[in-house]
Structures are given as structure tokens and as C-alpha cells.
Amino acid sequence: MSSLEVKDLHVTINGSHILQGVNFFVPENKVTALLGRNGVGKSTTLKAIMGLNPGTGSIKFGGTEIIEVTTHKIVQMGLGYVPEDREIFSSLTVKENLSLAERDEKPDYDLVYSLFPELLTRTGQRAGTLSGGQQQMVAIARALLNQNKILVIDEPTKGLAPKLVTEVANALAHVADHSTMLIVEQNLALVKAIAQNIIVMDQGKVVFEGGPENLQNESFVKSMLGVSGGHK
Amino acid sequence: MSTFLLILITGIGLGALYFLVASGLSLIYGLMGVLNFAHGSFLTIGAFTGLWISTKVFPNPTTWTFIAAMIAGGIVAGLFALLMEQLVINRLYNRHIDQALVTVGVALVVTALLAGWFGSDARLFPTPLWFMKAVTIGNAIIPIDRFIYIGVAAILLTAMLSILKFTRIGLIIRAGVENRSMVSALGINVRLAFSTVFFIGGFAAGVGGVLISVFSYGVSPLMGGSWLIYGFIVVVVGGMGSVTGSAIAAMLIGITNQFANYYLTGLGDFVVVIILAAVLLTKPSGLLGKVSN
């Protein structure tokens, strides 16, 4: 079982009530995109799922309650996490960044290097000296090394040049074929390409759930995403 | 020239002792954000353990008994540090004011207990006779103990850097110093790294305590507090979380202190404070600083 069920999730940070009763379901073997304007609580939701932001309510992973489980145990249960802003270890080499992420007996370096061959040529380079796109590859690669039941990915194409967006998007599309994924992403073209479900958040709550077709057809969804016209 | 060489080597020896005190302090703050005011207690406990070994277990001092005293001092101090981390600090992560208060409390309790047990007067640390000898380099006559401090600190520096560079726990510590929440988000129990760092820091301070007892001609319950101040200065100048930074800063502080004491007639401490102020004003993160978020 690799589904994820979030019920009545509340998170308060420094006195601000950021998540105000979030409810949604991430079905098994499907890609679910969490959308919304900046500051509505998308990243906070992902961090709460990963145990990085303490919250109240219920988060069930494969039927098991994880709301009070520590982060490293959540990851060991099979939730792989790619954080916003990469958060690679800049003083470590690419190889060290990847080996730190190894959990499985046989980490899938073949998959990682087939998706991101550029990393293979930079194993000895300090990650802090990589370009933003290469750092994002390292961040995604860390999650792909292990057989995760769910991938939780936060804005993987944020701040990347268009060419790198395509490269990262292709990698995610490849992985999406055989994974359960919860992804926060502003690039709606990528969302339409890989997601089967969309969840729209506004002001700390889920305001819409449906399929990706609603991104074009539903005016309410467009307004919640702050988009006036259609998406390409 | 002979005076210059004597002061230089004495300064390096003093720096070696500062490094033993500061390296663990730096790693503990860098990785966990714990401002550990009890670190001086590790040093004192190491010194008293070494004294006990050298007077009760092996009353006839030889090179080997001194090595045994250093190792025992390091291990007992390391275990005490580990115990403190498990029983006290473990419950107070991310509560920095509480951590500072409780570590001050531990330092006071350890000092009071040792003073009650052994008395407040300093006790002479027995050493092999050859420790009292000197070697001649050029025209300079250098007490041989300086080289022992330098040698032991060099061995521990090499060991620490090797652990950090070549072991998985070292990799976790290096990553944790940079971003400990992301280490957890990779499925790693970063608390194991915390415990390891406390033991390593305690071990280095304990070994330092034995050597400082020789350098200071005595073991006293109050010795930890005074050396801890220099430990903090070295950590701030070298940069939190960097063992190499601590080593460089310890040498800088030790050598400057000795030269200033000689050429500016006792102004060594004042010059060290000037260096601290200069670093805080121009590079607050220290020479090679990095602190986990």
C-alpha cells in the first residue's frame, strides 16, 4: 500500500496558522499535483507529511498513522523527499551527496545516471559549485536511488532555465510511469503531462480536487492559481 | 633567535592544547547548535581520571602509564559527554536557552563534586622524568613537553579529519553540520551523529585535560572553566563546526598569546581579545565557519 491520506491537518508556525484543516488523498500508482498561489501552504503541507513541520490531525501512509513519526523513520518507511530549493550539501561532492542518500542494499545508480548522465562526469565535484539545474538533478537523484513507495517532490523546476526544465520534466515523467508521486509544481505544462489528479490549495485549505483537464476548463481553478488565460 | 624559537614552539604547544579543548566544542555547536558550557567539565573529568590512573593504578610514572592516563582520561570524559547528551541534551534540542542553562548547571555540579571529593587545591600530575628534560634546537633550549602536546594534538586532528572524511558517520556529521534537517529527510537518524560528536568532543577534551594538567603543573576542579573561555574564543575565531578552522585558530591564538606576553609584557590575553573582536567585526562566521540549520 502506498497511498497517502491527509485529514484535518493543521500547522502553526511562529503563531501563524498556516494549514487550517487540509484534507486530501493521494492514490497509489498515480501522480497527484498540489497547486496554488505562492504562500497558500503547499510546501508546508509537504514538510508536515515528512515530519519536518509539526502538525495536528491525521496523515496516514499506507494506512499507518505518521503524524507524530520522526522524519528519518518516515523516509525509512518509503517516502522519498525532494525539497524546495534543493538543499543539497554544498560542501560535499556529488558522489558524497548521493552515497549519503543510500538506504537500499542496492541503490539504483543505473537509473540515476541514465536519467542524469551529466552527474556521472561530476562525481568528484563539490555540489556547491554545480549550476542550479545540476543541483536539482542531485536533489532528485537522491530520492530516486532508493525504492520509495511515494515520492514527495517540491517545485522541482523552480528557477531552472527552460532547457533544464525539459530535462528535469523528462526525468520526472519517466519516474511517474511507475510511481506514486505527490508533487508541488508551478509549471502547469509539466503538471498536465504527468499528473492524473490535481489538488488546489488556497489560504491553508484544499479548495478543489479533480483531474488535470480542469486546469484548462475550470475558471475557478484558474482563478485560484492566479492565471487569467489558458495554459499552454 | 633562540628566544623567538622558544616562544614559537611554546605558542604552538599552547595552541595544540587549545585545539583539544575547542575541536569538540566547535563540532557540537556546528552540528547541534548546542552551546555547551559543560565542555570544560569534560576536560576536568579527563584530568582527574588521568590523575587517578597515574597515582592509584600505576603509581610509578612511565611513558606507558602516561599514555594509559591520557587514553583513560579521554574515554571517561567521552563517556561522561555521551551520558550528558543522552540524559540531558537529548531532551532539549532546539531549546537553546534551556541548553545553555542546563550545561552551566552541569559544569557547576561537576566542579562542586570534584572540589568536595578532592579539595580545591591543585594536585601535581606525576609524569615520567624525561618530561622535565629539554632539547636544543639551534641555540634554543625547548622543554620537551611542548612537543608532546603538539604530537598528541596532531594525532587527534588527523584521527578526527580521517573519521570525518573516510567514514559514513563522518559523512553524516559533515552533512549534518551543513543542514541537519535534510540529513533526517534522507532517512538518517541524525541523533546517532549527535552522540558520536559528543563522545569525540569529550574524548579530545579529556585527553586535553591530562596534557593541560602537565602544562599547568597541577589538576584542579576549577581548571575546566578557565580553559573553556579560550576554547570558546578559538571556536569563534576558527568558525563553528570546522575542525580545521579550530586547528588554525588555536595555533593563531596560542602563538600570538605567547609572543604578545613576551614582547608586550603580559598583554597576551588582551591581544587575543583584540583578535576575537577583529574576527567578529570583519568575519562573524569565523575563518572556516559553518553552522547547521
Note the ipTM here.
Answer: 0.90
pTM of the model: 0.86
Considering only residues B135 and A220, tell me which one the structure prediction assigns the higher pLDDT: B135
Considering only residues A192 and B44, tell me which one the structure prediction assigns the higher pLDDT: B44
* Mean of the per-residue pLDDT values of chain A: 90
Torsion angles phi and psi, residue B292, rounded to 5: -65, 150
Residue B254, helix vs strand vs coil:
helix
> Hey, of B186, B194, B290, which one would you mutate to test binding to chain A, going by the most A CBs within 10 A of its CB?
B186
Task: Give the integer Cα–Cα distance in Å for A176 and A40.
Answer: 25
The closest CB to that of B174, out of A83, A91, A142, belongs to A91
The closest CB to that of A72, out of B175, B178, B187, belongs to B187
- State whether the Cα torsion B266-B267-B270-B275 is positive or negative: negative
What are the Cα distances from residue A39, in Å, to A8, A165, B124? 19, 22, 65
The gap between the terminal CA atoms of chain A, to the nearest Å, is 35
Whether the CB-CB separation of A23 and A38 falls below 8 Å is answered with: no
Q: What pLDDT does residue A231 have? A: 38
Q: Which CATH architecture has domain B2-282?
A: Orthogonal Bundle (1.10)
Whether the CB-CB separation of A82 and A138 falls below 8 Å is answered with: no
Q: Mean pLDDT throughout A181-189? A: 90
Q: Which residues of B touch A87 (CB under 8 A)?
A: 179, 182, 185
Does A228 score more than 80 pLDDT? Answer: no
The tens digit of pLDDT for each residue in A29-73 reads 999 999 998 889 999 999 999 999 999 999 999 999 999 999 999
Among residues B166, B186, A179, the alpha carbon closest in space to that of B176 is found at B186
Among residues A40, A140, A49, A43, the alpha carbon closest in space to that of A88 is found at A140
Which amino acid is located at B75 in the chain?
I
Q: What pLDDT does residue A164 have? A: 84
The DSSP code for A182 is E
Q: What pLDDT does residue A229 have? A: 43
Strand partners, A7: A58
The answer to whether A83 contacts B182, with C-beta atoms less than 8 Å apart, is yes
Q: Which residues of B touch A99 (CB under 8 A)?
A: 171
The answer to whether A100 contacts B186, with C-beta atoms less than 8 Å apart, is yes
- State whether the Cα torsion A151-A155-A160-A166 is positive or negative: positive
Considering only residues A167 and B198, tell me which one the structure prediction assigns the higher pLDDT: B198
CB neighbourhood size of B114 (10 A): 22
Q: What pLDDT does residue B48 have? A: 97
The tens digit of pLDDT for each residue in A97-123 reads 999 999 988 999 999 999 999 999 999
- State whether the Cα torsion A155-A156-A158-A162 is positive or negative: negative
The closest CB to that of A91, out of B178, B186, B190, belongs to B178
Which amino acid is located at B183 in the chain?
V
Q: Which residues of B touch A100 (CB under 8 A)?
A: 171-172, 175, 183, 186, 188
- At A218, the pLDDT band (50, 70, 90 cuts) reads low
Q: Mean pLDDT throughout A174-188? A: 88
What domains are defined for chain A? 4-87+149-225 (3.40.50.300)
Burial of A48 (0-12, 13-18, 19+ CB in 10 A): buried
The answer to whether B184 contacts A70, with C-beta atoms less than 8 Å apart, is yes
CB pairs under 8 A between A and B: 56
Q: Going from the first residue of chain B to its last (293 residues), give the mean pLDDT of each consecutive group of 10, the final group possibly shorter.
A: 90 96 89 88 96 92 94 97 92 85 95 92 90 89 94 95 93 90 94 90 96 93 92 92 92 95 90 93 84 53
Torsion of CA A107, A110, A112, A117, to 10 degrees: 150
Q: Which has the minimum average pLDDT: A158-167, A202-211, B68-77, B109-118?
A: A158-167
